[in-house]
Amino acid sequence: MIFMEKSLLPSIPAKRYFTIGEVSDLCGVKPHVLRYWEQEFTQLRPMKRRGNRRYYQHHEVLMIRRIRDLLYDQGFTISGARNKLQELVQGDRDKRRAEEGELEFDANGVNQSFDMPAALEASKSILVFQPSNESVSILRQELTQIRDLLFESRP
């Protein structure tokens, strides 16, 4: 197994989809490990196309890097990493809600609006990827090119 320091990982290109081989190179993890992690982490759900080929999106590449860091650099077990990811997802969600003024805290700073069933349900969902203006612009260009190709091929 080849271990790469986080700082040595290549930057993620501005693309919509990545093959398992590309993700393997970007994250320093072998393809069979990625397939195994898909079974262990519900947040990893790459799109599958012809011949069961996997296509990962940018947010999934970031998630894989986070999982890799938890397992290889911080020494978490699979179960521990899974729990830590759920905590991070809930923490991000609480932070967003607090910024929007939706959370209520008592005098001790305890979240009074915490809803355990909702928290459990939320932990099953995928992290939300907020695309940058650059990635939206690239996607728009790609879609325009596809549209142009479709109109060129019309009889």
Task: Kindly state the tokens that stand for 3.
Answer: 């271990």
Distance CA(61)–CA(23), nearest Å, equals: 7
Q: How confident is the model at residue 145 (pLDDT cuts 50, 70, 90)?
A: confident
Name which of 14-23, 49-58, 82-91, 117-126 the model is least confident about: 117-126
- What pLDDT was estimated at residue 3? 47
Q: Give the mean pLDDT of the chain.
A: 80
CATH of domain 8-104+112-152: 1.10.1660.10
Distance CA(18)–CA(59), nearest Å, equals: 11
120 φ/ψ sector (left φ>0, alpha ψ -120 to 50, else beta): alpha
Task: Kindly state the tokens that stand for 15.
Answer: 């693309």
Beta-carbon-side half-sphere exposure of residue 86 (alpha carbons within 13 Å): 16
Q: How confident is the model at residue 152 (pLDDT cuts 50, 70, 90)?
A: confident
Q: What is the mean pLDDT of residues 53-75?
A: 93
Tens of pLDDT, residues 71-98: 999 999 999 999 998 888 788 787 887 7
70 versus 152: the higher-pLDDT residue is 70
Q: In a 10 Å sphere around its CB, with 0-12 CB exposed, 13-18 middle and 19+ buried, how is residue 139 labelled?
A: middle
